[in-house]
Amino acid sequence: MEETISLRELFAVLRKRLWLIVLITIIAATVSAVISFFVLTPVYQSKTQILVNQAKSDEQLYNTQAVQTNIQLINTYNDIITSPAILDKVIKELKLDKSAGNLSSQIQVTSAQDSQVAQIVVQDTSAKRATDIANTTASVFQKEVPKLMNVDNVKVLSKAKVGESANPVKPQPLLNIAVAIVVGLMVGVGLSFLLEYLDNTLKTEQDIENILELPVMGVITTIKDVPKATNVQRPDLTARVPQRGETFGS
């Protein structure tokens, strides 16, 4: 026999265990907020833009074939920027206590489609250090790339500034809390249905009718408050018997 569950029953399960769903959601949001604000280290981002071009004259600059060649070489320039040939000099100049591999993981070089402009993006736990790394990397690349390739025109279009990276890019507390709320709701709802599925006890007469398909003949109610028997005042059986010569009331 196939069992079907109506929407009313689903909502009944959610309403029945609403406290559990709310509790799990609050716990998830609280944990996420504590980790985002007090545990994770803020990461700042700084970026600079450079233009790499092999042409010196305007005629060559706007030559379609030359521009296309420069665009295809952007990926090569990106690899050069994050190579030890450039980063070792950046580390030496800034006196950084890290290797070229570690510094490379902090640097991302991107370029827009069909563009000769490359963007150097640096992330670091210090806003000033991120700015210094971005500017120094662009400067070292501008000096060293003519020695490595036949490129004679590298220009820095915009330098990184500390003011641009005053706010950390990671972590994002509000986003983390929102994700935690969604995850908490999903876990709470899933756990509610799981507990309902594992609960095979009969609690109401409707459960008997639905599961056993038997009519309910009678219901024994639970009597919570039973009135106590009232105390009847009994006569005093210890009254003293009057002695000879005594009368009642004397």
Name the residue with higher pLDDT: 68 or 82.
82
CA distances from 197 to 1, 5, 22, 161 (A): 17, 12, 20, 58
Convert the pLDDT of each residue in 92-140 to its tens digit: 999 999 999 999 999 998 877 667 788 999 999 999 999 999 999 999 9
β-strand pairing of 107-111 with 44-53:
unpaired
β-strand pairing of 153-158 with 107-111:
unpaired
Convert the pLDDT of each residue in 149-169 to its tens digit: 766 677 888 888 876 546 888
Positions of E strands within the chain: 44-53, 107-111, 117-124, 153-158
Q: Quick one: pLDDT at residue 74?
A: 73
Which two structure tokens, joined as six digits, stand for 235? 């006569």
Q: Quick one: pLDDT at residue 137?
A: 94
CA 65/CA 205 separation, integer angstroms: 84
- Which of 14-28, 52-66, 208-222 has maximum average pLDDT? 14-28
**Interval 191-218 mean pLDDT:** 77
Q: Who's near 184: CB < 8 A, 6+ residues apart?
A: 24, 25, 26, 27, 28, 29
Is the pLDDT confidence value at 178 over 60? yes
